[in-house]
Structures are given as structure tokens and as C-alpha cells.
């Protein structure tokens, strides 16, 4: 919007020393300021909306899983395997509940069920990679795509 402000200032300079140029300058400055606030608020809303969706990088997570799987030793390996197992079971439980709820709704209403956001259910972190398609995936898909399990197995043997 700096082009708008400079255009208005040039118009004011051409107008002389009357009250009209000062009014135009003040109005132009307020328009630019309000537009700047609107852009900043829009960016903040967009960032908040993206943050609420809990979307993380697919590739970064795969790389982290693989690096951690080969770098852990001893008790860390067991804890890591337990965390992975808990995360995988939690996803299975959430997806199982989701599909069970949808089947119950289909039987009761004979219409497709809409997904409902329930505050009682834990949120699911989703991972996105533009090369895989438009749909974000969950931890199970990231874990299966990575070679983390192979890496931790090889590090235990070696």
C-alpha cells in the first residue's frame, strides 16, 4: 500500500497549501493504516487456523523417526518402542471409534454421518506431504512409510 500513500502525498503536494490536501493526506494515511491492520489480522487468522489443525511435515517426521531409531541405545530403545506402540494403538482406537460411530449413525439414520468435533476425543496430529497427494496422513501412515522399525531392529542386532 506504499504506492497508494506516495500517490496521495504527490497529489497533496500538487494541491498547494489549502486544508483539502491535509485532509486527503490524513485520510490516505488512515486508509493505509487500516489496510495494514486488516492484512496483519488476516495473516494471524490464517496462522491460527493452520495451527489448530495440528499439521506437521511428513518428510521431516519420517527423517526424525529414522534418525532416532538408529541413535537410541539400551533403555532408550525400549522407551521409544513403547511410545511408538502407544501412539499406534491410540490412532487405532480413535479410528476404530470413528468408524464404529459412523456405522451406528448410518444404521440409525440411513444417511451418511457428518464428522463431529468432540472435545472429549484427543486431537490427532496430521502430517502432510504435497508429493503424496492432497490428504494429510496420521502417524501410522508416517511410521509405515519410514524405515524406523527396520533401523531400530538393525541397531539392536549390531
Give the domain range for residue 103: 55-157
Q: Are residues 144 and 103 in the same domain?
A: yes
146 by DSSP, 3-state: which? coil
Torsion of CA 60, 63, 66, 71, to 10 degrees: -100
Q: Are residues 68 and 47 in the same domain?
A: no
Residue-wise pLDDT tens digits, 33-70: 777 777 777 666 656 555 556 778 899 999 999 999 99
Structural domains in the chain (count): 2
Q: Are residues 59 and 117 in the same domain?
A: yes
Q: Provide the whole-model pTM.
A: 0.51
- Among 52, 70, 85, which residue terminates a domain? 52
Q: Are residues 86 and 23 in the same domain?
A: no
Question: Regarding predicted confidence, which is higher, 32 or 144?
Answer: 144
Q: First CA to last CA across the chain, in angstroms?
A: 62
- Among 36, 52, 68, which residue terminates a domain? 52
Q: Are residues 71 and 6 in the same domain?
A: no
Going by their DSSP bridges, the two strands 126-128 and 55-57 should be labelled as: parallel
Do the Cβ atoms of 53 and 126 come closer than 8 Å?
Answer: yes
Question: Regarding predicted confidence, which is higher, 50 or 129?
Answer: 129
Residue-wise pLDDT tens digits, 88-105: 999 999 888 766 666 555
Calpha distance 103→119 (Å, rounded): 21
Q: Are residues 23 and 91 in the same domain?
A: no
DSSP structure string for 95-126: HHHHHHHHHHHHHHHSSPPPP---TTSPP--E
Q: Which of 136, 122, 51, 134 is nearest to 87 (CA)?
A: 122
Amino acid at each position: 500500500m506504499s504506492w497508494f500513500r506516495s500517490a496521495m502525498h504527490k497529489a497533496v503536494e500538487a494541491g498547494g497549501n489549502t486544508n483539502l490536501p491535509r485532509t486527503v493526506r490524513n485520510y490516505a494515511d488512515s486508509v493505509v493504516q487500516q489496510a495494514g491492520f486488516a492484512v496483519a489480522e488476516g495473516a494471524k487468522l490464517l496462522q491460527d487456523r493452520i495451527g489448530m489443525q495440528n499439521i506437521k511435515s511428513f518428510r521431516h517426521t519420517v527423517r526424525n523417526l529414522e534418525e532416532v531409531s538408529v541413535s537410541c541405545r539400551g533403555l532408550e530403545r525400549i522407551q521409544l518402542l513403547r511410545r511408538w506402540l502407544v501412539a499406534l494403538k491410540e490412532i487405532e482406537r480413535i479410528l476404530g471409534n470413528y468408524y464404529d460411530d459412523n456405522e451406528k449413525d448410518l444404521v440409525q439414520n440411513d444417511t451418511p454421518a457428518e464428522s463431529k468435533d468432540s472435545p472429549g476425543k484427543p486431537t490427532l496430529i496430521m502430517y502432510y506431504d504435497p508429493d503424496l497427494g492432497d490428504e494429510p496422513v496420521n502417524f501410522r501412515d508416517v511410521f509405515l512409510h519410514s524405515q524406523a522399525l527396520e533401523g531400530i531392529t538393525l541397531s539392536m542386532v549390531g
